[in-house]
């Protein structure tokens, strides 16, 4: 099932987004609610907290006094870690139970206030961040929650800032307007991305852009790659395989098709055909059917076989190339990237070629084939550069 992480700073309107998604049909799991449930009166979690910190953390009714507990652990790192050792495994176990109880075709939205802060982003197929101007958040906290302005500022400052959340977000929902605007944005996200993503994930179907359309350089491409790579790394753990950003989106300043190319080095293609392929598909990167290979450089030396996976996410096309680590194709992808990064003249020549080919042959397959003669020559230049500079992959 599709797992979506939802987060946002205090006062951002994250709960309104969660409620709208639930109304549209998502299974919403509220991390705060789960955290309260596992330490409710009569629970094993509360009993262990009392055994660890004494009954001074209970209120007059025998429930957890969160303010009293906070006073105990706030300035004591070891106490905080003891508390987390009690609560975190229980929260994870209860969350897993709720996920397991959801329908197999569900879009499961995990509403986690500190998702970015605790490093959970790679565990989801998609991360949605609700972003609202700090001034608006302060106004909401003081008006709607009757929070003291100084306390509201302190609470906001204690969380990740907007830049850190944006870097972790696959989707940013702005909530500086009214509720109708927010609902419209959530509805569009549900219709255009979440529902088709879930369908693609279940069908093991990758998104395939048909036309070769050049996009001007996007400074967020490296951030997007980093999120995808973290997701892949999490899916394959404990295996520690080399993952690289390759292709035109890995070359700063170069216009490119808006497809993130990623290279995953594997010990063998037989291993790429095994359980690893299923783990990638579960993480949102299904294998593309058919046989795939790279044209050798120089030509005539036999084709370089590989496996190719894509992305089930309709909002982020990906080409995930599985090549044997150390093989000619694996080395060539890194050499081309690094030479184009280092040589502005060849980067400009390649961009001119791309623009000409897109204008004359917008079909994706034809576009790729017509670049071969230029890359035959570029390969020789890159090898000379590698020898001159001592480049190593």
pLDDT at 19 over 60: yes
**CA–CA separation, 222 vs 252, rounded Å?**
9
Question: What is the reported pLDDT for 77?
Answer: 84
Question: What is the reported pLDDT for 243?
Answer: 98
pLDDT grade, residue 366 (50/70/90)?
low
Using CA atoms, how far residue 25 sits from 29, 108, 113, 360, in Å, is 13, 9, 21, 45
Work out the percent of the chain whose per-residue pLDDT is above 70. Answer: 97
Mean pLDDT of 322-327: 97
pLDDT in tens, 193-249: 999 999 999 999 999 877 778 899 999 999 999 999 999 999 999 999 999 999 999
**CA–CA separation, 214 vs 219, rounded Å?**
15
Q: 128 forms bridges with which residues in the sheet?
A: 6, 171
Question: What is the reported pLDDT for 68?
Answer: 87
Question: What is the reported pLDDT for 362?
Answer: 60
Question: What is the reported pLDDT for 146?
Answer: 79
**CA–CA separation, 248 vs 228, rounded Å?**
16
Q: Which pairing describes strands 304-309 and 318-324: parallel, antiparallel, or unpaired? A: antiparallel
125 Rama class: left (phi>0) / alpha (psi -120 to 50) / beta: alpha
pLDDT at 353 over 70: yes
pLDDT at 364 over 60: no
pLDDT grade, residue 50 (50/70/90)?
very high
pLDDT grade, residue 368 (50/70/90)?
low
pLDDT at 191 over 90: yes
pLDDT in tens, 291-322: 999 988 877 778 899 999 999 999 999 999 99
Indicate the pTM of the whole model: 0.89
pLDDT grade, residue 360 (50/70/90)?
confident
Q: Which pairing describes strands 256-257 and 214-215: parallel, antiparallel, or unpaired? A: antiparallel
Identify the weakest region by mean pLDDT among 5-9, 149-153, 223-227, 257-261. Answer: 149-153
């Amino acid at each position: 099932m599709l797992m979506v992480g939802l987060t946002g700073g205090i006062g951002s309107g994250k709960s309104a987004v969660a409620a709208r998604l639930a109304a549209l049909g998502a299974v919403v799991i509220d991390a705060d609610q789960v955290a309260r449930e596992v330490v409710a009166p009569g629970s094993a979690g509360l009993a262990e907290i009392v055994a660890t910190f004494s009954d001074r953390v209970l209120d007059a009714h025998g429930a957890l006094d969160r303010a009293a507990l906070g006073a105990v652990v706030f300035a004591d790192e070891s106490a905080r870690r003891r508390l987390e050792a009690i609560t975190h495994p229980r929260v994870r176990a209860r969350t897993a139970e709720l996920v397991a109880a959801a329908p197999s075709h569900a879009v499961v939205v995990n509403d986690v206030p500190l998702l970015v802060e605790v490093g959970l982003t790679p565990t989801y197929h998609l991360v949605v961040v609700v972003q609202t101007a700090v001034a608006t958040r302060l106004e909401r906290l003081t008006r709607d929650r009757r929070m003291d302005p100084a306390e509201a500022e302190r609470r906001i400052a204690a969380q990740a800032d907007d830049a850190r959340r944006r870097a972790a977000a696959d989707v940013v929902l702005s909530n500086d307007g009214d509720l109708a605007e927010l609902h419209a944005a959530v509805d569009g996200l549900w219709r255009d991305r979440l529902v088709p993503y879930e369908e693609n994930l279940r069908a093991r179907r990758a998104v395939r852009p048909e036309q070769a359309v050049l996009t001007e350089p996007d400074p967020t491409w490296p951030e997007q790659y980093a999120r995808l790579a973290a997701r892949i790394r999490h899916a394959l753990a404990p295996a520690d395989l080399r993952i690289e950003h390759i292709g035109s989106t890995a070359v700063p300043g170069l216009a490119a098709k808006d497809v993130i190319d990623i290279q995953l080095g594997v010990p063998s293609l037989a291993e790429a055909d095994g359980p690893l392929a299923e783990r990638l598909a579960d993480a949102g990167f299904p294998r593309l059917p058919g046989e795939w290979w790279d044209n050798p450089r120089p030509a005539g030396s036999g084709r370089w076989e590989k496996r190719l996976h894509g992305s089930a996410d309709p909002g982020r096309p990906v080409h995930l190339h599985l090549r044997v680590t150390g093989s000619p194709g694996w080395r060539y992808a890194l050499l081309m990237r690094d030479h184009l990064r280092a040589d502005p003249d060849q980067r400009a020549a390649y961009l001119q070629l791309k623009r000409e080919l897109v204008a004359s042959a917008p079909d994706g397959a034809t576009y790729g084939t017509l670049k071969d003669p230029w890359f035959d020559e570029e390969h020789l230049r890159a090898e000379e550069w590698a020898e001159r500079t001592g480049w190593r992959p």
